[in-house]
Amino acid sequence: MANNQDALLKYWNQFIQTGVIHENVREYIAQGWKRCRKMNIDHEIGVGTPIAADAFKKIQEKNREFIEVSEAVIREAYHDVADSDAVVFITDADGCILSQYKDSTTLYPANETKLLPGYRWREEENGMTSMDLAMRLDEPVRIIGAEHYCRYQQICAGSSAPVHDDNGNILGSLNIVSLLGQYNKHSLGVVTAGAALIENQMRLEQTLRLFKTTFNTMAEGMILIDQNYDVKEINDSAKNILGLLDKDILNFDIREALRFDSFERFFKKREKELDFYLEERTVHCIGDMDIVELGRNRVFYSIVFKAAKTVNKMINKMTGNAAIYQFEDIITEDEKMLGLISYAKKISHIDCCVLVTGPSGTGKELFAHAVHNASPRSKGPFIAINCAALPTDLVESEIFGYEPGAFTGAKQGGQTGKIELADGGTLFLDEVGELPLNIQSKLLRVLDNHRITRLGGKTEKAIDVRIIAATNRNLEDEVKNKNFRLDLFYRINTITLAIPPLRERRSDVALLSQYFLQKLNRESEHKVYSIDEAVLTAFQSFDWPGNVRQLQNVMMRAFYVCETTSLSLEDLPDTVKGLKDKNAVEPLTLKNSGGSMQEVEKDVILKAIQECGGNMTAAAQRLEIAKSTLYRKIKRYNIVVEKVFHRH
């Protein structure tokens, strides 16, 4: 009955004249007629409302993605109804026609009805149409002939379906309008399917846009390679890490850059290090590769990586490889020390090697921290190595790192050496005089050409590291004794900071004592508020062979022994009070002598071996050093253990 145009026209005339709607008129058509009558729509007209050109441009720009995605669907929809003189078009949510497709032979008088882009069709302005009704009801609809409220529109048939965004909001409508005699009963199905296609395509476009945004904002570099090893996608981070411009990508050969002849062989190894060889430079990265399969015979390789420097910075941050102390943390009022600090501040900005000398416990590491923090490298890592504490067989691997399989027991993925971790910052070599000669020569090479080769490695890596070395030895004597390379001595001795022992700056003893007392009070619930004058007098008379470290240890012991609120002589060890405990074992590491430091150390070692009955483990524990270090010192001083017991 709905398609019987003679009957529909009769029902329409009846409604126009009397306001009564026949029961055979479809419900949503009847409701539309009522709304139009109530709004006093002229039932004899019904043409589109023009939109100003500037306003229409803004509307098109706002709906640019909708227009672009819909273009192919509009064309396909027209082909589905190509036997009729149809017009296929989309509108925005406000009824403005955004874009249309029609054949040049179309007879429908679109120009007369203003069914054209740049015209708006709304029920309150132009009467009830399928495009407005579809969005009003939020469902596909069709209006045929006399079902239109306006007579001028009754020569046509319209089918429309709403189009939604990701959140279910109506973006607009997809529509097919044709002359009544050319109406295609499949039109409603075509616009319904077309609207779904547009929605799906827009979701896909949004997902792709989100992927591209995520892809290009990743901190890691990412490259997607097809089976022919052509770069299909490369993100901005990858370009920045590798220093590539967009024009470079066209000629970018991934196999040549990574020097892989077979990616499959690489996947079996699962290495984490990736070196990109680009013209005259090499970019060291840490990353991994994987295979992405998209159906049968569609395989891609994904390469995800970070610059090795970035990874090392993360490791250093997590492991606390940073300089803690500033020059302000060095407690002194001694003129010589103040002058040394002033000099150290000046040379901090000079990017060259620094050698810090002085007896044990004087604060050499404190100066190393402060020099780093006052230098342009302050934001870089500060890696400290105690050369005396490293076992001989692990020195090279710890300092220079090693490749997978470099030696028995090596980690599967290899290990980054301390020098690499210090890249961009400072490497502090404490007790540098303890380095074995073979390591000294390798370190010299690093200082000369700023490149390293890992243990078991075949390629060199460029590094940017400042060396600060410290020693309590006289390296010139070590050179004469052929325990230290002369060329390395000259290389690390560019600038020397010689820290005087505590006995040469006695004005600092009381100042440091008060500082340590305040520090202990802050860190402990136990409180001691003052130091007796007798204690300070005893401190001034003592030579402090262990320097500031010994003073700190004495203050700590006295603090916790003290049972009052003031430190007294009774709280001090006998050695500091000037007395000698007959049953006490003198700390061998603090032995004082009129001879050179080397002579003192040799005598201490001999005494420890004698007192421990030749037990090297016990002697090393007594001296508070590693057993391997003890053997190295025995070799250094040409000590024949068997002869030690014949000395007395």
Class of domain 218-314: alpha beta
pLDDT at 588 over 80: no
Residue 399 token pair: 């300092």
CA 166, CA 206: separation in Å to the nearest integer? Answer: 9
CA 150, CA 126: separation in Å to the nearest integer? Answer: 8
Mapping DSSP to helix (H, G, I), strand (E, B) and coil, where does residue 98 land? Answer: strand
CA 316, CA 344: separation in Å to the nearest integer? Answer: 25
User: Which residues sit opposite 234 in a β-bridge?
Assistant: 223
Residue 452 — φ and ψ, nearest 5°?
-130, 155
Residue 538 token pair: 């005893």
pLDDT at 148 over 90: yes
pLDDT at 118 over 90: yes
Residue 566 — φ and ψ, nearest 5°?
-140, 135
Give the fold, CATH level 3, of 320-498.
Answer: Rossmann fold (3.40.50)
Decide if 320-498 and 589-644 have a common fold: no
Start-to-end C-alpha separation, the chain: 131
CA 5, CA 136: separation in Å to the nearest integer? Answer: 25
Q: Whose CA is closest to 371, among 382, 361, 358?
A: 382
Largest CA distance in the chain: 139
CB 364 within 8 A of CB 528: no
Average pLDDT, the chain: 84
Q: Whose CA is closest to 220, among 237, 234, 244, 205?
A: 237
CA 192, CA 257: separation in Å to the nearest integer? Answer: 51
Residue 285 token pair: 């990265």
pLDDT at 320 over 70: no
**What does the buried/exposed string (b/e) look like for 315-335 if buried means 16 or more CB atoms within 10 Å of the residue's CB?**
ebeeeebbbebebeebebebe
Give the fold, CATH level 3, of 5-209.
Answer: Beta-Lactamase (3.30.450)
pLDDT at 648 over 50: no
Position 1 scores a pLDDT of 37
Pairing of strands 426-430, 382-386: parallel
Architecture of domain 589-644: Orthogonal Bundle (1.10)
CA 609, CA 623: separation in Å to the nearest integer? Answer: 10
What would the pLDDT profile of 511-523 be if each residue is shown by its tens digit?
A: 999 999 999 988 8
Position 636 scores a pLDDT of 80
Position 96 scores a pLDDT of 96
The rounded percent of the chain whose pLDDT value lies above 90 is: 42
* 321 or 55, which is more confident: 55
Pairing of strands 426-430, 466-471: parallel
What would the pLDDT profile of 387-400 be if each residue is shown by its tens digit?
A: 888 887 788 888 88
Domain residue ranges of the chain, discontinuous segments joined by + = 5-209, 218-314, 320-498, 502-577, 589-644
**Mean pLDDT confidence for 195-205:** 91
Which of 196-200, 485-489, 583-587, 612-616 has the least mean pLDDT?
583-587
* 323 or 350, which is more confident: 350
What would the pLDDT profile of 352-386 be if each residue is shown by its tens digit?
A: 999 999 998 899 999 999 999 999 998 888 988 88
pLDDT at 102 over 80: no
pLDDT at 2 over 50: no
* Count of other CB atoms within 10 angstroms of residue 303: 24
**Mean pLDDT confidence for 206-222:** 82
**Mean pLDDT confidence for 330-358:** 94
Residue 167 — φ and ψ, nearest 5°?
-95, 5
Position 73 scores a pLDDT of 83
Position 645 scores a pLDDT of 53
**Mean pLDDT confidence for 23-37:** 95
CB 150 within 8 A of CB 43: yes
Q: Whose CA is closest to 450, among 470, 431, 424, 471?
A: 424
H or E, element range at 144: strand 141-144
**Mean pLDDT confidence for 161-165:** 95
CA 28, CA 34: separation in Å to the nearest integer? Answer: 10
**In whole angstroms, how far apart are CA 299 and each of 216, 249, 295, 448?**
22, 20, 8, 46
CA 37, CA 431: separation in Å to the nearest integer? Answer: 99
**Mean pLDDT confidence for 309-322:** 58
Pairing of strands 221-225, 231-234: antiparallel
Any alpha helices (H) in 183-304, and if so which ranges?
A: 187-217, 236-242, 246-249, 254-258, 263-269
> DSSP for 364-406?
HHHHHHHHHHTSTTTTS-EEEEEGGGS-GGGHHHHHHEE-TTS
Position 244 scores a pLDDT of 86
Residue 190 token pair: 């075509």
Any alpha helices (H) in 250-322, and if so which ranges?
A: 254-258, 263-269, 308-319
Mapping DSSP to helix (H, G, I), strand (E, B) and coil, where does residue 175 land? Answer: strand
pLDDT at 21 over 50: yes
CB 187 within 8 A of CB 86: yes
**In whole angstroms, how far apart are CA 304 and each of 27, 195, 218?**
60, 39, 10
Position 263 scores a pLDDT of 61
CB 527 within 8 A of CB 521: yes
Pairing of strands 566-567, 530-531: parallel
Q: For the whole model, what pTM was predicted?
A: 0.54
**Mean pLDDT confidence for 52-77:** 90
**83: which DSSP letter?**
T
pLDDT at 583 over 50: no
What would the pLDDT profile of 400-409 be if each residue is shown by its tens digit?
A: 888 776 776 6
CA 469, CA 372: separation in Å to the nearest integer? Answer: 12
Position 264 scores a pLDDT of 61
Give the fold, CATH level 3, of 502-577.
Answer: Helicase, Ruva Protein; domain 3 (1.10.8)
What would the pLDDT profile of 244-270 be if each residue is shown by its tens digit?
A: 888 888 778 888 888 765 566 555 555
pLDDT at 642 over 70: no
Any alpha helices (H) in 524-615, and if so which ranges?
A: 533-541, 547-561, 574-577, 597-611
pLDDT at 584 over 60: no
Residue with tokens 């007579």: 151
pLDDT at 126 over 50: yes
CA 499, CA 490: separation in Å to the nearest integer? Answer: 19
pLDDT at 80 over 70: no
* 28 or 601, which is more confident: 28
Which of 48-52, 58-62, 112-116, 464-468 has the least mean pLDDT?
112-116
- What count of Cα atoms within 13 Å lies in the side-chain half-sphere of residue 460? 10
Residue 530 — φ and ψ, nearest 5°?
-150, 170
pLDDT at 93 over 90: yes
Supply the angle between the helices 335-347 and 364-373 in degrees, to the nearest 10: 40
Position 585 scores a pLDDT of 42
Position 547 scores a pLDDT of 92
